A and B are shown apart, each in its own frame.
Chain A
Amino acid sequence: MNLGLLAPLALALGALALGPILAHLAQQRPSERVPFGAMMLLRRMVKRLEKRRRLKDRALLALRVLALLFAVLAAAQPQLSWPGDPAAIGAFGRVVLIVDDSLSMSQRDAGGTLLTRARDEALAALEQLPPGTLCGLVLIGGEARQLTPTLTAELGLIRDALVNLQPSYGRTDLEGGLREARALLAGERGEVLVYTDEAGPTTISEAQGELARLVERGGVVLPRPTRNDPPANLTVLDARYGDGLEGGSVTLRVANYGSVDVEAPVTVGLPDGSEITAFVELPAGGEAEERVTVPPTVPGGVAWARVMDTDLEADNTRYFHLPRVGASRVMVVDGDPGATPVRSEVYFLERALAPWGGARGGVLPQVVAPSGLAALSAEEHQVVFLANVADPSPWAGKLLDFVRGGGGVIFSAGDNLTAERYNEPLRALMPAPLERPRDLIDLTASGGVPLELPDPSLELFEAFAEEGRQAFRRVTTRRVMGLGAFTETGWTETSQDGVRVLMRFEGGAPALVERRIGRGRVLLWTSSFDLGWGSAPLQAVFLPFTQRLVAYLGGESAGGAARAEGVVGEVTSLRLPFGGLTLRLTGPDGADVPMETAQGEQTELSFLPRLPGAYTVQVGDEPPVALIAVNTPAEESDVRAPQPLTAATAAIDPALTERHVRLGPWALGLAITCLLAQALVARRESS
């Protein structure tokens, strides 16, 4: 509520108020002196009158000054204004109703939700429109959309649409809603009634520009705030499985957008159906973090974390990816067993894979002789290391099937490798054709040629911090397996599988070459995993590197499925490392979800999720090739409405949302009243 003056200069007349005051003071001390012989009586009289007279004098002065001040105020034409709507809606003949059906409008309200309240108010406004008013309806949950292509006089259509209104899980697209309203008004003057809870920290600020444009084009925006006071909502902001070597726990971040402290139960649901519940204390308007330990062995997939909250249930659950938890069984094929363990080809590799023993670590290595490849099983093993194996050709088919099914194979070089036994038999498997081993030229005479700094943009190395990546530079080698010509897209003319060099030695010699085959990968380490050709086993980075190799090759999640995250109402995209397959996207409700795909050597997939939950991409009935965790928009959970739309509208043009009353006549009336009152008092005093 504001008080303004239309003629503020008139306040200068207020100086006239000094007149009565000075006159009053002058009246109290007359200058003429008269000798008087009955002063005793005057003193008696004055004593009797003193108290009463003082009050009268002050009252008289106050009334006279007030009369003058009110008169001055009347001349200044004061005007009182306060937020308010025009007396009647529909004065311009065009009205657009914008109804927020976003996620936050599902907050519980007395006997329903905020959406039902907004709907009822919109229906009531519809009923009160003057006959012939053109009306339009825009919904702003998710993506703003017109429910009437143009303004229409058939209000029944709009009424039916409002009655059948359903809540969505999307964010508030107020900006889009105002844009659609502007399009409906088409430059004509009209009123835009906005029914929204104004939830979201940036909902209003993002719409400022469009709001200004709408007002500029003649739109009269009339906010109809529909929210709970005080606000209250709990939500799981984030849920993340520990991605360190130890793993083992899910970190939850829970927010309380209400005004009171609460303690709420939070339940974590694992892909195998088991649930773990913890209690979290949440300060008012704050967040809290809680860790939930998951069992030693849990299959990978999409898990969820849910906080118990009845104010807004739609955002209680957050979906997140849970990698395979527990030991990944790795087969290590020792191609050069030594007389002592230390002399064995895989001595260092075995300890790097399971430094604490298989029972406690994430990897359970199984060391076998080459003949042990016969026991390779896609159900039992995730990764196979072939360390300096002389002749794997008898198991070439088995290895190929293993990789195509999602498994990972790593070849490491050594003196036993020969091109004849690898190139042809394992042509469909090897990333590059082998040649002869060759010595690298050590220009620094430091005992070998160091690795180049790994590329952090590669998935294999993204888990390493800068210091960790620098540690790779200490890995040196004196000899590598020479590779034949190959291209980045595959070293065979017919293969469509991708081949790329993940790491090189200084001078350009490839150190690690990858080839994707089906849902799996094959890596070729051109040096040895023992101390025969290089120093890798002696470097600190050897342990995390081998652990990371296992995780990278599919040891983390079941079947090596791709993982992505999405938000309801927003287009979600992901890239699959294969092409030419018929894919099926299934939503959390089990129904097929329409999607767009771009097939090539890889597959680009995009879709618009309407529901939160776990989405799966499958090829036929095979295990999922991709898992997508879709959540509700986080900003919708913040129901505190930090910036009211009313204030934003008033900031653009206060006159649009204000009502006025002129106080000049009232001030004049008060001035006259004071004048009359002082006359009465003066008369009574003189009589």
Chain B
Amino acid sequence: MILWDPNVLARVRRLHLLAVQTVEGLLHGGHKSRRVGANVEFADYKDYSPGDSLRDLDWKVLARSDRLVVRRYEVETELQCVLVLDASGDLSTGQGSPYTLPELEGTKFGYSLVLTATLAYYLIKQQEPVGLLVLGGSGPGAGAYLPARGGGAQLARMRRGLVALISDLMEEPEGWMPSLSALSRRRPDLAVFHVMDRRELTLDFERPALYFSPEGGEALPIDPIGAAPELRGVLNAWLEELRGGLAEHRGRYYPAWTDLPLHAALAPMITGRRAMPDRDLGAV
């Protein structure tokens, strides 16, 4: 028996409310999305083997040739959507997002959580099955995979579908870009929501300090005043690298600044517009 924690239930309700508000705002005055219905087409026969469903036996063939054969069909899948949420430690930082749960204090993860919920709500409202994959992190949901409702297809078997990655992408691209390449060969629709905290990327801090990653590793002594200009150059180069890599693998890049409204990140995907460059960050 599962005892639901009231705090968790409240958090979910809050999350639902935020998602509803955002999606309704986005869809207000818009068009209904495409409805994908079930469809079955004959493919071929195969010899019956124990365990096959008797419902699939071709009785006519049995009658004519006294052979037990099973009809096989090509199944036209639904638009299966998998939301991949980055829950790694690096997302626990950030203070600039008003679009987050109060308990998460405006962190990047809080923003990512709301964004994921909103996206899921939107897709569900579009009657698309939605699954959730949580990457990294720790706690009850870490590493969880929630399959898309309405079928047993796996991500790897998707011939058509949507994979939405919500992450700050704070790993060296050469580490995860090859995985993206393998995914792109299965022709999914890949959308990457790049969660970014403006204060972090502009080094908007006052005093020199030892900066360290919540994921561990060596702390670096940084004077933010002196380092900010240099970091801007590094940031621009990194973003160019990301965009180039994603474009190469037919992925779509959506910047998600935590200090901007959620629809600023979702609208380009939903409406099909290109993301607007961030004026505060110049090339971003």
Contacts and interface: CB of A to CB of B under 8 A. Distances in A.
Interface of A: 27-46, 48-49, 685-687
Nearest to A687: B229
Contacts of A29: 210, 221
Interface string B190-228: 000000010011000101111111100101111101110
Nearest to A27: B208
A37 B94 contact: yes
Given A38-B168, A41-B235, 16 more contacts: A34-B212, A35-B93, A35-B211, A35-B213, A36-B200, A36-B212, A37-B91, A37-B200, A38-B201, A39-B90, A39-B213, A41-B170, A42-B211, A42-B231, A43-B220, A686-B225
B226 A35 contact: no
Closest 4 CB pairs of A and B: A37-B93, A39-B213, A32-B209, A36-B211
Contact of B197 (A33, A37, A687): A37
A30 B226 contact: no
B234 A48 contact: yes
A37 B167 CA distance: 12
A685 B234 contact: no
A46 B209 contact: no
Contact of B217 (A28, A34, A39, A44): A39
Contacts of B221: 28-30
Interface of B: 90-94, 108, 168, 170-172, 197, 200-201, 205, 207-214, 217, 219-223, 225-227, 229-231, 234-235, 238
A687 to B, nearest CB: 7
B234 A35 contact: no
A28 B220 CA distance: 10
A35 B214 contact: yes
A29 B219 CA distance: 10
Nearest to B226: A686
B92 A39 contact: no
A45 B172 contact: no
B238 A33 contact: no
Nearest to A686: B226
Contacts of B208: 27, 30, 32
Given A35-B93, A49-B230, A40 B210 contact: no
Contact of B220 (A27, A35, A42, A685): A42
A31 B225 CA distance: 17
A33 B170 CA distance: 20
Contacts of B172: 40
Contacts of B212: 33-36, 39
**Which of the listed residues B214, B225, B234, B238 has the most CB atoms from chain A within 10 Å of its own CB?**
B234
Contacts of B235: 41
B238 A48 contact: no
Contacts of B231: 41-42, 45
Nearest to B219: A33
B220 A39 contact: yes
B213 A41 contact: no
27 contacts: A27-B208, A30-B207, A32-B210, A33-B219, A34-B205, A34-B209, A34-B212, A35-B92, A35-B211, A36-B93, A36-B211, A36-B212, A37-B91, A37-B108, A37-B168, A37-B213, A38-B197, A38-B200, A41-B170, A41-B201, A41-B234, A42-B211, A42-B227, A45-B231, A45-B234, A685-B226, A686-B223
